[in-house]
Amino acid sequence: MLYSVRGKLILTTPNSAVVECGGVGFHCQTTFNTLRTLKQGSEVMLYTYLNVREDAMELFGFATKTELDTFKSLISVSGVGPKAGLAVLSELSPEQVAMAIATDDVKTITRAQGVGKKIAQRIVLELKDKLAKATASDNSFANVSAGAAAAAGGNIPKALEALGVLGYTPSDVSAVLATLDSSLPVEQLIAQTLKQMGRQ
């Protein structure tokens, strides 16, 4: 319903930002990572997600499309609500979330406030399972993925898998990854790929 809001940042709290658009202030719950990028009084643009419940409508805002997409993936996990999604993305970048899921690193996800081991395990299990199902149901994805992993050396295959957790297919990112140094750390490969694709 609401894709984004653009306007003057008139107020921030420890977990939200108010953006004034056309005389209306939109209260967006957000992450510490997004708040760090915002400057009071300046014009900002946040990608938004509207959560409609029986007793409330909540608007969430994110500085990057990647952060919004990661938030949507997190809250698609059973038992993970918007509060937990914000907690994870306040502690970790989308790239770190993808790496944690791709490498079964439950401990990293539990660094988020209020996220225990059971929830973290569910996040890793369900999101990895979704990626596996998408790969299995799409033969072209599987073929490109296998081919790209075989042709690439270093950390490229791991970066490819982590980017898959974020919703990118190998055909989306292979051309960009091919231009990068495969010996770079996986997290750096992910960040540079997203940056070059103009999605960060």
Q: How confident is the model at residue 153 (pLDDT cuts 50, 70, 90)?
A: low
What's the chain's average pLDDT? 84
What is the model's pLDDT at position 77? 93
- Distance of alpha carbon 71 from alpha carbon 63, whole angstroms: 12
Give the C-alpha separation, 32 to 14, whole Å: 7
Helices assigned H by DSSP within the chain: 32-37, 65-75, 82-91, 94-102, 106-109, 117-137, 139-151, 156-165, 170-178, 186-196
pLDDT, tens only, 33-67:
999 999 989 999 999 999 998 898 999 999 999 89
Where is pLDDT greater, at 43 or 177? 43
Of the pLDDT bands very low, low, confident and very high (cuts 50, 70, 90), residue 144 is very low
Average pLDDT over residues 5-22: 94
- Alpha carbon 195 to chain centroid distance? 14
Beta-carbon contacts of residue 115 (< 8 Å; ≥ 6 apart): 84, 87, 88, 109
pLDDT score of 32? 95
Question: Has residue 119 got a pLDDT over 90?
Answer: yes
- Length reported for the chain: 200
Q: What confidence score (pLDDT) does residue 132 get?
A: 64
Phi/psi of residue 24, nearest 5 degrees: -110, 130
Residue 146's pLDDT is 42
Q: Which residue has the higher pLDDT, 133 or 140?
A: 133
Section 70-79 average pLDDT: 93
Structure tokens, 3: 């894709």
Window from 31-40, 63-72, 100-109, 135-144 with minimum mean pLDDT:
135-144
Asked if pLDDT for residue 2 goes beyond 50, the answer is yes
| φ/ψ of residue 13, rounded to 5 | -125, 175
